[in-house]
Amino acid sequence: MHVTIEVWLITIALMAVVFVVDLLVLGRRPHEPSMREAGIAIGVFSGLAVLFGLSIWYLAGPRYAGEFFAGWLTEYSLSVDNLFIFVIIMANLRVPRKLQQFALMFGIILALVFRGIFIALGAAAIERFSWIFFVFGAFLIYTAVRLYLDYREPDDEEEAIENAVMRWVRRTFPSTEDFEGTKLVVKVDGKRLITPMLFVVVALGTTDLLFALDSIPAIYGLTQEPYLVFTANVFALMGLRQLYFLIGGLLQRLVYLSVGLSVILAFIGVKLVLHALHEYQVDERLGFNGEIPIWLSLLVILGTLAITTVASLLKSRREAA
């Protein structure tokens, strides 16, 4: 797939405009979005992603369109899983509801930065080293096993946010007891103090870094086109702020989401290993074709997400009854 520098620049500029309008214009006033506001925003962003995928189909063919849709759905699912951690962070740090939108804005911006860095590093590694697919595949299989074990034996919520960076910030910098609106640093009696909002930003940022480590190898298992990797990630992050408020209660009902994601990541991990074997022509010597077609990948992702969602909602309904 040949993408000119002009197309790259236009795409980045248009997506930057969308994010600036969403995060810095619509989200500049700290408030809790209404269900109608959140629903409209998510519908618009999802529609833009579908239109973009259809334009890829028209301009580059069904293969690349399928790779985009598979990547977008996978990254969107991982972003929803990321929201679980965001909910825990907001609850444990007691962030007022009207300030949560501001904190999420920082979280999404940091997610964009980290994913952009890892996309560039991943593209450079893939171009130079074919064996990197073995590393990506093994890492995704490990992540899938870890996700499933976390579902079976969930960690303490307090430990989920008290990572090394958070502990260092708490020990190093004096802070205020209460939130000071959206301010990260305030001056009290001539001394500069950090606010709890800075703790929230640090927690969201370190969480985004960990999720970027999982998500980038996952999408490179579906497409090796940096343009599709970038656009799928950006579309997956669009509307994440509104999604947080729209399905805050529903997140608690998606009890099998981690199981579904572990299946998807394990599948992509195996796909990467098979692709690496194909790169070294090991599969041909063993008498099979190691490449898994994109239509099968898309079918597995859609099927797993559908089964996971239906099973989760049925279990939640039984427990409520």
Q: Which domain holds residue 71?
A: 5-247
Write the secondary structure of 52-96 as one string of H (helix), E (strand) and C (coil).
Answer: HHHHHHHHHCHHHHHHHHHHHHHHHHHHHHHHHHHHHHHHHCCCC
Q: How far apart are CA 207 and CA 135, in angstroms?
A: 22
pLDDT of residue 50: 95
With respect to residue 262, please indicate whether it lies within any of the assigned structural domains: no
What are the phi and psi torsion angles at 153 (to 5°)? -130, 80
pLDDT of residue 164: 63
With respect to residue 287, please indicate whether it lies within any of the assigned structural domains: no
pLDDT of residue 69: 94
| Measured CA distances, 290 to 218, 220, 260, 271, 317 (Å) | 18, 16, 24, 8, 41
pLDDT of residue 288: 65
Sheet strands (E) in 86-240: 185-188, 191-194
Q: Torsion angle, CA of 198/200/206/209, rounded to 10 degrees? A: -110
With respect to residue 196, please indicate whether it lies within any of the assigned structural domains: yes
With respect to residue 270, please indicate whether it lies within any of the assigned structural domains: no
With respect to residue 309, please indicate whether it lies within any of the assigned structural domains: no
Answer whether 216's CB lies under 8 Å from 122's CB. Answer: yes
Answer whether 12's CB lies under 8 Å from 227's CB. Answer: no
Q: How far apart are CA 122 and CA 127, in angstroms?
A: 9
Q: How far apart are CA 44 and CA 67, in angstroms?
A: 22
Q: How far apart are CA 93 and CA 81, in angstroms?
A: 19
Q: How far apart are CA 105 and CA 245, in angstroms?
A: 13
pLDDT of residue 232: 92
Query: What's the full length of the chain, in residues?
Result: 321
With respect to residue 141, please indicate whether it lies within any of the assigned structural domains: yes
Low-confidence ranges of the chain (pLDDT < 70): 23-33, 154-167, 247-252, 283-284, 287-290
With respect to residue 288, please indicate whether it lies within any of the assigned structural domains: no
pLDDT of residue 307: 92
Domain count across the chain: 1
3-class SS of residue 261: helix
| Measured CA distances, 269 to 38, 274, 276, 303, 315 (Å) | 34, 9, 11, 17, 29
With respect to residue 284, please indicate whether it lies within any of the assigned structural domains: no
Q: Which residues lie below 8 Å from residue 173, measured CB to CB, with a gap of 6+?
A: 193, 194
| Measured CA distances, 247 to 34, 161, 302 (Å) | 12, 21, 20
